[in-house]
Amino acid sequence: MSDIETQLNELIAGLSAKDIRAVMSQVRNNVINKVDTSRRARRIAITDLYFSVAPLPHKSTYEEYKLESEAIRQQCLSGVDING
């Protein structure tokens, strides 16, 4: 390991200012990493869609509520009206 460090130090010491500038121009210091949040946004959109149209259980019978909420859940999972 010390052989590599010694050789590297000798190589760096042998570089001129022009060579160092050329090397540093190739090194990217200001790389901006972007995190893809599209899957998260899709899940949030599906949840918002469901709760914006979900039936209220106290305003209908249990059977109507169960059938309607299942139909809405299936539509949300299929991706209907997420962007609309």
Q: How many Å apart are CA 76 and CA 6, to the nearest integer?
A: 62
Do residues 68 and 55 touch, judged by C-beta distance below 8 A? yes
Q: Where are the domains of the chain?
A: 38-78
- The pLDDT value given to residue 22: 84
Q: How much is the pLDDT for 71?
A: 86
The tens place of each residue's pLDDT in the chain, 84 residues long, gives 578 888 888 888 888 888 888 888 877 777 777 888 988 988 888 888 888 887 888 888 888 888 888 888 888 778 666 655
Please give the C-alpha separations between residue 20 and each of 9, 16, 65, in angstroms, as whole numbers.
Answer: 13, 6, 71
Q: pTM for the full model?
A: 0.47
Q: For residues 24 and 66, what is the distance between their CA atoms, to the nearest angstrom?
A: 65
